[in-house]
């Protein structure tokens, strides 16, 4: 399901809206919304979102 429809925000603007998907598990609480945060290794290896092919 699209993450934005469930109250979540993408951790990077480089992630297309259609690619930002979320699954809520049975233990999900209504307060569990907001910006998702990726662990530091994802950022260190530039593994978050799409890159500009012309860059």
Q: In total, how many domains does the chain have?
A: 1
Closest CA to 18 of 8, 32, 6, 4: 4
26 lies in a domain? yes
Would you state the pLDDT for residue 39?
A: 92
pTM of the entire predicted model = 0.70
* Tally of CB atoms within 10 A around 44: 8
50 lies in a domain? no
Range of the domain at 31: 3-44
The residue that leads in pLDDT, 28 or 48, is 28
32 lies in a domain? yes
Would you state the pLDDT for residue 25?
A: 94
19 lies in a domain? yes
> Measured between alpha carbons, how far is 5 from 13 in angstroms, rounded to an integer?
16
22: CB partners within 8 A, 6+ apart: 1, 2, 3, 6, 8, 36
Q: What is the mean predicted confidence (pLDDT) over 47-53?
A: 82
20 lies in a domain? yes
Q: What is the pLDDT of residues 17-47, one digit of tens each?
A: 999 999 999 999 999 999 999 999 988 998 8
Scanning 8-53, the segments in alpha helix (DSSP H) are 40-44
């Amino acid at each position: 399901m699209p993450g934005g429809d469930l109250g979540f925000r993408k951790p990077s603007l480089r992630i297309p809206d259609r690619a930002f998907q979320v699954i809520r598990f049975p233990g999900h609480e209504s307060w569990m919304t907001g910006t998702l945060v990726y662990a530091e290794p994802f950022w260190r290896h530039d593994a978050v979102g799409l890159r500009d092919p012309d860059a």
